[in-house]
A and B are shown apart, each in its own frame.
Chain A
């Protein structure tokens, strides 16, 4: 009891010191999460300001005799004439491992009902991205567990890879698969006791999504055992636009903590189209001049300063970013899409037509690219899948010609046949990422023609059978592929023998 009294006395002693100076202003208008304030003559750009009833704001517009602020929190109780004070601080959010397994709002407050978050550190939401000197080139793979991506559009730690496509084409599913795959790799790596193993922690930022969708994502991660390595930053559609605007920056701050402390993190921004819309709404209310599609002039900077914060740091960790952009009718040349395409290190383009044909993930190989390329691939994948992208591109070209119904020579028919098999092989159900060693085994079988005798309609079943054969009966071989990360003559012979064994059992 005496400790409690001492705490109160200490607090009183702290408060009983000299007077404090505050800079104040008064609300002139409040509308749609934005307040215009008279006064606040000392306020700084991006400074946090205190509104009555605990709401906070960020000063975004500093004008001659008024200040425009976005309000974070409940605006229902604010009215004209209310006093606002400066705080002298930038908006900060809690960071650290205490956030793993938790769902927080844009300010880092828990919203999952699991109690308070015991965070020891806070990072400012807005930070200058790492400079050129401290950066290191991307050369370590980050496996998504999706065979089509890991073999043809590899992603490295510290890379920014855009996922773009129409609604309902599986953009979120790809990112959830990636998060689940990181969790699976983390579990295997941590259980192995390898001191060199570096786990990847994930942050999923939901911007402007329905609460039901966020709940579904949380459930999917929980069921896959990935939530313990993941933080979810939720700014649902019902939140005020200021929260939607700030949420990706909050998530980036949480990811930066891992990067700064020598760890690797993955951040998903789902999605930046809605983020741009929220910023447009704020800007229009702040009466900033509007440009193309009514977006403000600094909408490029909005996303470039966010995505530049993803990096691989020399002597420290990395932050990999997977931003999502939703297109309308497959139009990648829209304003926000082209902006983000030019900022990122590549894009994975998902096509509605492919999705409707049952090719899932519906990745358009022709329009997708990873500018980091094979630098972020392990040697084994390069050995078995190095030529896949070219083969698929050739297949698409030939398939277009074949539609005219002209007679085809044997070589062209063989190429078409092989292309069809590759397409079938890359079909993968949602939330079931494949370990890289298993991908190598399947691609090896493909490369060596083990799927050639199989009827095209049965390729998926054959691939499933091969995967289960390897996981149940050739676990040691898979471990060897994983540890060596390259195929030498000995390993190739073992793989060949294993595939022969599977072939006889599958045919039988």
Chain B
């Protein structure tokens, strides 16, 4: 017998598939899914919604380049990053700036699971691991 967690994961995955239209998460579909869960109350709704949230968040992250920066980042640079990433992944990617003093200097761009590291903090971390 499958565990509760597995059943919840399976349902969340089905709901997630319903939320994607033309390769992108549709706000309208997500609203519909939430309304369905509200109305029909599946078993372990919290577990289902948490798993659904994780899947939607991971999908949304693929279309967003979070640019962490220690210094100033111009709009032109953000636009250039968005263009480069869109070309790289073959899908529209939007760049958003996120100040992070912990980087010391440089940039860190995160698109989904991929991280492009060009910061002093990242280089120091690599140095620490290699010692």
Chain A: residues with CB nearer than 8 A to chain B?
A: 11, 15-16, 18-25, 38-42, 50, 54, 64-65, 85
Contacts and interface: CB of A to CB of B under 8 A. Distances in A.
Interface of B: 13, 54-55, 58, 106-107, 110, 112-118, 122-123, 126-127, 129
Given A15-B123, A15-B127, A40 B113 contact: yes
Nearest to A22: B115
23 contacts: A11-B127, A15-B123, A15-B127, A16-B123, A19-B106, A19-B116, A20-B117, A21-B115, A21-B116, A21-B117, A22-B116, A23-B114, A24-B114, A38-B58, A39-B113, A41-B112, A41-B113, A42-B114, A54-B129, A64-B13, A65-B55, A65-B58, A85-B115
Given A19-B107, A38-B54, A38-B58, A25 B113 contact: yes
B50 to A, nearest CB: 11
A9 B37 CA distance: 59
Contacts of A19: 106-107, 116-118
Shortest 8 CB-CB contacts between residues of A and residues of B: A19-B118, A39-B113, A15-B123, A41-B113, A22-B115, A19-B116, A24-B115, A20-B117
A333 B54 CA distance: 48
A54 B128 CA distance: 9
A39 B62 CA distance: 11
A23 B13 CA distance: 23
Contacts of A65: 13, 54-55, 58
A474 B50 CA distance: 83
Contacts of A38: 54, 58
Nearest to B107: A19
Nearest to B111: A21
Contacts of B115: 21-24, 85
A20 B130 CA distance: 15
A65 B116 CA distance: 22
Nearest to B3: A287
Contacts of B116: 19-22
Given A21-B115, A22-B114, A64-B13, 5 more contacts: A11-B127, A18-B118, A23-B114, A41-B112, A85-B115
Nearest to B61: A39
A160 to B, nearest CB: 38
A258 to B, nearest CB: 29
B116 to A, nearest CB: 5
A64 B12 CA distance: 13
Contacts of A39: 58, 112-113
A41 B116 CA distance: 15
A24 B125 CA distance: 15
Contact of A42 (B54, B113, B117, B122): B113
Given A15-B123, A18-B118, A19-B118, A50 B129 contact: yes
Contacts of A54: 129
B92 to A, nearest CB: 19
A104 to B, nearest CB: 20
Nearest to A41: B113
Given A18-B118, A54-B129, A23 B113 contact: yes
B126 A15 contact: yes
Nearest to A28: B54
A65 B59 CA distance: 11
Contacts of B118: 18-20
A85 B116 CA distance: 12
A41 B110 CA distance: 14
A40 B115 CA distance: 11
Contacts of A20: 116-118, 122, 126
A52 B90 CA distance: 32
Nearest to B118: A19
B90 to A, nearest CB: 15
A22 B112 contact: no
A25 B118 CA distance: 19
Nearest to A65: B55
Contacts of A21: 114-117
Nearest to A25: B113
A417 B122 CA distance: 79
Contacts of B13: 64-65
B129 A22 contact: no
A178 to B, nearest CB: 40
Nearest to A54: B129
A40 B110 CA distance: 13
B63 to A, nearest CB: 14
A408 to B, nearest CB: 66
A54 B130 CA distance: 10
Contacts of B113: 23-25, 39-42
Contacts of B129: 50, 54
Contacts of B114: 21-24, 42
A245 B113 CA distance: 29
B88 to A, nearest CB: 10
A22 to B, nearest CB: 5
A11 B124 CA distance: 11
Contacts of B112: 39, 41
Contacts of B55: 65
Nearest to A39: B113
Contacts of B107: 19
